[in-house]
């Protein structure tokens, strides 16, 4: 418990600061209270007129984005950074009885004291009308409320470790109850992500970067099958070049980050950091292409891009800087370019299905969702059953001659005439890692497919002082056997952690198989196998164990894909009219509908679905809300019977479209 501290100018009451959210209303709060105030969440929820279980700690990345402070440093001053009033300020009434109050000055290694009048002035300057709460009179109300039985908690989840704050080692949020908090805990506690002091930018730790390396290896080999070569282009682009293709840049304009200074000197003209590289690469293409013999150009680069998103960042899924590959090609004819678009799209689909064990829908984007400046965009679309949202997995675009005309990429054809090249561009990013986590992860943490996990198995020796040498010797022999056979395996023999802690640690990290070695295992020349996917446990003889585990990895990979495929297919609903569409959409499903394929119709669907879902939310229904949009027009198109009407506008349907709410 914090205590009153004495500054040079007198006694000061220390404040505690809590960043909270209401899960149901999706409201965020900054609660400022005297350090010894009992801020009972059930009583607070009653005051805020919401369910007692709905008030909980807010998401770290949202806090950092809105309040511009790191975890542990949130305070009253940070409310000044919430210029759009997205956060409701809750103030403890007892603070107004203090002469001076102590706060962290935007960092947690110091405390500063301000007068009560200055506290009120800060609140006034922030533009937030505070909800002043008399916590002192709340406990009686809380006592009168019925007491619910506490849910049983897994013993492993009770193990605690010390960090900046004491927190649970295991995942405490449940995937189906609080998806956002669950996702944040999984990617941080599994050591995939470390937060950074620039909002929307994240550190990829070795555990996640190893996954990206495996994806790079798989995709790069596929690209080379199509004779694609790797290159590198600079990350900067001049304003003149960026603005040359106006339709293209219009789609990226709000997200472009600009460099305007060198030291204290203004640059002669701003330089953009690439959001994508069409306008960087294509001036070079125009120099390289003179004759039809110079085509095709087939290049790819593995790099980073910057898109200064203003929406709430989500690690992997929506970030301001991310890693990706971007391929760009130029061809002498349309047929060849279209074939390239579809070949790449299939490579992307195989990467998800074969590496991530994630099913995808291959399709073409609607005109509304087509990449800026493209003739058409191919896409692979994913689905997250836990929150009912779709995720665009990767895209492959046919640019036609739009860019080649703008950047003078023309060649002399066989008839000595001039033709503009047909072009493609395509990209696959680290967003795929986040999608895989969301689809496969469970309440214990990550569940990683064997093909992308840094480790296929972890060996846990279980010993006491009197048999330590024997157990470690046996485990080391097992480790050598498996490594020699080409399996990715490691032994966790850290003496400062108990076996139970290690079990939990590697479960959170999602390693496909745990191998336990104890005294009885040695006596029988065996090892205990525990599968992360389903917690299935069995014994394996040491003889032939490498081959057995290799087969186990194939079985796990297939089981994960089959499970994800069934979950997705069960949630794709056929809808022929608006009422059915909204009912299924609000039940967190994807909708397959007959559609007129008109852009104005999609715009109306977006607006109408948003209004109706908001109305349902205001009536207290716990639904997934927001606009619906087309995810794609699946390549596998069913036959549309004559006379079929568009589900939304009633005009003739020309295509079947997949709709949903998405990231």
493 plus 631 within the same structural domain = no
Residue of 124, 107, 128, 115 lying closest to 31 (CA atoms): 128
422 plus 505 within the same structural domain = no
Model confidence, pTM: 0.78
Asked whether the beta carbons of 556 and 440 are under 8 A apart, the reply is: no
539 plus 509 within the same structural domain = yes
**How many other β-carbons are positioned within 10 Å of the β-carbon of residue 361?**
23
Evaluate whether residue 82 is within a structural domain.
yes
Evaluate whether residue 613 is within a structural domain.
yes
Residue 212, Ramachandran bin (φ over 0: left; ψ between -120 and 50: alpha; else beta): alpha
Average pLDDT over residues 592-620: 88
HEC states along 250-275?
Answer: HHHHHHCEEEEEECCEEEEEEEEECC
Half-sphere exposure for 266 (CA within 13 Å, toward CB):
2
Of 545, 568, 591, the position where a domain reaches its end is 568
Evaluate whether residue 552 is within a structural domain.
yes
CA 221 to chain centre: 26
| pLDDT grade for 619, boundaries at 50, 70 and 90 | low
365 plus 218 within the same structural domain = yes
Q: Tens digits of per-residue pLDDT, 371-425?
A: 988 999 999 999 999 999 999 999 999 999 999 999 999 998 888 889 999 999 9
| pLDDT grade for 502, boundaries at 50, 70 and 90 | very high
Asked whether the beta carbons of 597 and 614 are under 8 A apart, the reply is: no
501 plus 356 within the same structural domain = no
267 plus 404 within the same structural domain = yes
Evaluate whether residue 484 is within a structural domain.
yes
Evaluate whether residue 160 is within a structural domain.
no
- Our count of domains for the chain comes to 4
Please tell me the predicted confidence (pLDDT) of residue 156: 37
CA 423 to chain centre: 30
The domain in which residue 488 lies consists of 457-568
Q: Tens digits of per-residue pLDDT, 108-153?
A: 566 788 888 888 888 888 888 888 888 877 755 444 444 444 444 4
Q: What is the CATH number of the domain that holds 78?
A: 3.90.960.10
Evaluate whether residue 114 is within a structural domain.
yes
Asked whether the beta carbons of 425 and 326 are under 8 A apart, the reply is: yes
586 plus 561 within the same structural domain = no
Evaluate whether residue 30 is within a structural domain.
yes
| 224 phi and psi angles, rounded to 5 deg | -65, -25
Evaluate whether residue 409 is within a structural domain.
yes
Q: What is the CATH number of the domain that holds 297?
A: 3.30.930.10
468 plus 419 within the same structural domain = no
Q: What is the CATH number of the domain that holds 552?
A: 3.40.50.800
In the block, tokens 């959001």 appear at 275
Q: What angle do CA 205, 219, 359 make, to 5 degrees?
A: 85
Residue 351 carries which DSSP code? Answer: I
**How many other β-carbons are positioned within 10 Å of the β-carbon of residue 285?**
23
Q: Tens digits of per-residue pLDDT, 176-221?
A: 999 999 999 999 999 999 999 888 999 999 999 999 999 999 999 9
Of 539, 568, 597, the position where a domain reaches its end is 568
Of 377, 407, 440, the position where a domain reaches its end is 440
Tell me the C-alpha distance between 523 and 530, whole Å.
Answer: 19
Q: What is the CATH number of the domain that holds 589?
A: 3.30.110.30
């Amino acid at each position: 418990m914090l205590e009153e501290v004495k500054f040079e100018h007198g006694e000061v009451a220390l404040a505690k600061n809590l960043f909270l959210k209401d899960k149901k209303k999706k409201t965020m709060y900054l609660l400022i209270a005297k350090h010894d105030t009992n801020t009972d969440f059930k009583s607070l929820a009653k005051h805020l007129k919401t369910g007692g279980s709905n008030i909980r700690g807010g998401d770290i990345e949202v806090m950092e984005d809105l309040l511009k402070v790191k975890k542990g440093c949130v305070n009253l001053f940070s409310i000044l950074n919430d210029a759009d009033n997205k956060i409701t300020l809750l103030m403890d009434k007892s603070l107004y009885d203090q002469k001076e109050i102590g706060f962290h000055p935007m960092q947690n290694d110091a405390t500063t004291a301000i007068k009560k009048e200055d506290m009120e002035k800060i609140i006034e300057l922030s533009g937030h009308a505070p909800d002043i709460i008399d916590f002192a009179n709340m406990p009686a109300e809380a006592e009168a409320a019925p007491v619910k039985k506490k849910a049983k908690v897994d013993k492993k989840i009770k193990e605690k470790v010390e960090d900046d704050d004491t927190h649970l080692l295991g995942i405490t949020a449940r995937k189906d109850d609080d998806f956002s908090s669950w996702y944040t805990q999984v990617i941080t506690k599994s050591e995939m992500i470390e937060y950074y002091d620039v909002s929307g930018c994240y550190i990829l730790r070795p555990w996640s970067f190893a996954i990206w390396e495996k994806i790079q290896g798989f995709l790069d080999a596929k690209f080379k099958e199509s004779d694609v070569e790797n290159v590198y282009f600079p990350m900067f682009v001049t304003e003149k070049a960026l603005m040359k293709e106006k339709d293209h840049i219009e789609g990226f304009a709000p997200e472009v980050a600009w460099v305007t200074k060198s030291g204290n000197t203004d640059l002669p003209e701003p330089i953009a950091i690439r959001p994508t590289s069409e306008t960087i690469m294509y001036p070079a293409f125009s120099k390289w292409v003179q004759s039809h013999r110079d085509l095709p150009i087939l290049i790819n680069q593995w790099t980073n891009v910057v898109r200064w998103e203003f929406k709430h960042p989500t690690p992997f899924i929506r970030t301001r800087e991310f890693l990706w590959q971007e391929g760009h090609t130029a061809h002498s004819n349309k047929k060849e370019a279209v074939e390239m678009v579809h070949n790449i799209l299939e490579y992307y689909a195989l990467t998800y299905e074969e590496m991530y064990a994630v099913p995808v829908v291959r399709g073409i984007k609607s005109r509304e969702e087509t990449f800026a400046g493209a003739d058409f965009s191919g896409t692979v679309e994913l689905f997250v059953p836990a929150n009912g949202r779709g995720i665009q997995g990767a895209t492959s675009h046919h640019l036609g001659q739009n860019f080649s005309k703008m950047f003078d990429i023309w060649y002399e054809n066989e008839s000595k005439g001039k033709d503009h090249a047909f072009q493609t561009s395509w990209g696959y990013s680290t967003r795929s890692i986040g999608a895989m986590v969301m689809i496969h992860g469970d309440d214990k943490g990550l569940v990683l497919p064997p093909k992308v996990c840094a480790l296929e198995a972890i060996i846990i020796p279980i010993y006491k002082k009197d048999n330590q040498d024997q157990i470690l010797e046996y485990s080391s022999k097992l480790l050598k056997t498996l490594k020699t056979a080409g399996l990715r395996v490691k032994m966790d023999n850290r003496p400062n952690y108990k076996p139970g802690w290690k079990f939990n640690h590697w479960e959170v990290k999602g390693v496909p198989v745990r191998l336990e070695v104890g005294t009885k295992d040695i006596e029988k020349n065996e090892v205990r196998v525990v599968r992360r996917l389903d917690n299935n446990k069995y014994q394996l003889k040491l003889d032939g164990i490498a081959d057995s585990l290799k087969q186990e990895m194939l079985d796990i990979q297939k089981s994960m894909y089959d499970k994800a495929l069934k979950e997705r297919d069960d949630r794709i609903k056929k809808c022929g009219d608006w009422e059915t569409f909204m009912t299924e959409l609000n039940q967190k499903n994807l909708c397959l509908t007959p559609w007129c394929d008109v852009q104005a119709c999609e715009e109306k669907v977006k607006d109408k679905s948003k209004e109706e879902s908001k109305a349902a939310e205001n009536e207290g229904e716990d639904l997934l809300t927001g606009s619906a949009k087309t995810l794609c027009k699946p390549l596998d198109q069913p036959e549309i019977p004559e006379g079929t009407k568009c589900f939304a506008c009633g005009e003739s349907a020309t295509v079947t479209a997949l709709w949903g709410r998405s990231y």
